[in-house]
Amino acid sequence: MQCNLCCSENILLKFTKRYDNKYWRIYECQECQVEYVCHNYSQEEVLEIQKSYFNLNNTSTDNSIYWKNELAIIMAIGYNSGAILDVGCNDGQFLSICSTPWKRYGIELSTAGDLAREKGITVINKEITEYKFPDNFFDVVTMFAVIEHLKDPKGLLKEINRILKPDGLVVIMTGDKNSFKARTKGENWHMYCPPIHLWFFSRKSLDLLAESCGFKSIYHRYTSGGMYWSKNRLFQIIEKCFVKSIFEKWFKQIPFYDHLYAYYRKEQ
């Protein structure tokens, strides 16, 4: 057996996860650290699972404060305008924050894309590799909570490299399996939910994957993703008052919380 990303044959079975009344084998590559679910689903079957998942999770929750912050970070890095593509744009909450002068495109395979279209966003209801955008077309491509769902993350990143302009930016948000939070939760980490999630990255494995697809890491940060550590109300208050307010600027550079935001520039 080979690692699906780096082709190493140094693979170990990490654990077997019971989820949705089935047992799933999760392997870890000893070279690049990526973990992945062993499954026999076809590309079409994976897509059907993802579609039902996103349709079920399409809510009208207002997360605009998070999206405004995300756009502010992209602009602070030096990307202020141009064509932006959000892969897995859901109902368009992030792209609706990106007003003029951005030209907004979204990829969404579920019916949530209809809601994004109503917000004036150009939404493509096809896989990115099927649609065939022109070479060097986008200034920024974002993927929030998408890469862990894919059948072929490497194929998608190579396609993103093709459609990004030279020096273009790709932003990837996913869970970090090596973060302190994920390590303390162990096999019960909420991201281990196969076959909804098929890949589990560390910062190192994501950097190695991006580099192999022609990208250079330029920035990263960690957040709690708005989620609390504990269900206990007292712990939540302590976390909100101390960790999230006083220490957050320091925490965002270290893998304490498990939401990893990684920023990569396309190499010339």
Which residues contact Zn ion (rule: CB under 5 A)?
Answer: 3, 5-6, 8, 29, 31-32
Contacts of 110 (CB under 8 A, 6+ apart): 50, 51, 54, 55, 58, 90
Instruction: Using the minimum distance from each CB to Zn ion, give the nearer residue, 105 or 201.
Output: 201
Instruction: Using the minimum distance from each CB to Zn ion, give the nearer residue, 31 or 152.
Output: 31
Which amino acid, residue 159?
E
Instruction: Using the minimum distance from each CB to Zn ion, give the nearer residue, 12 or 56.
Output: 12
Nearest alpha-carbon partner for 208 in 1, 2, 7: 7
What minimum distance in Å lies between the beta carbon of 32 and Zn ion? 3
Half-sphere exposure of residue 13, counting CA atoms within 13 Å on the CB side? 6
Give me 133's structure tokens: 């955008």
What minimum distance in Å lies between the beta carbon of 155 and Zn ion? 15
What minimum distance in Å lies between the beta carbon of 211 and Zn ion? 13
Which amino acid, residue 45?
E
What minimum distance in Å lies between the beta carbon of 181 and Zn ion? 23
Instruction: Using the minimum distance from each CB to Zn ion, give the nearer residue, 1 or 254.
Output: 1
Instruction: Using the minimum distance from each CB to Zn ion, give the nearer residue, 199 or 261.
Output: 199
What minimum distance in Å lies between the beta carbon of 3 and Zn ion? 3
Instruction: Using the minimum distance from each CB to Zn ion, give the nearer residue, 12 or 234.
Output: 12
Contacts of 228 (CB under 8 A, 6+ apart): 235, 236, 239, 240
Give the angle subtended at the CA of 228 by the CAs of 89 and 146, to the nearest 5°. Answer: 20
Contacts of 106 (CB under 8 A, 6+ apart): 85, 86, 87, 89, 92, 95, 113, 116, 121, 122, 123, 124
What minimum distance in Å lies between the beta carbon of 195 and Zn ion? 20
**Helix H or strand E encompassing 97:** helix 93-97
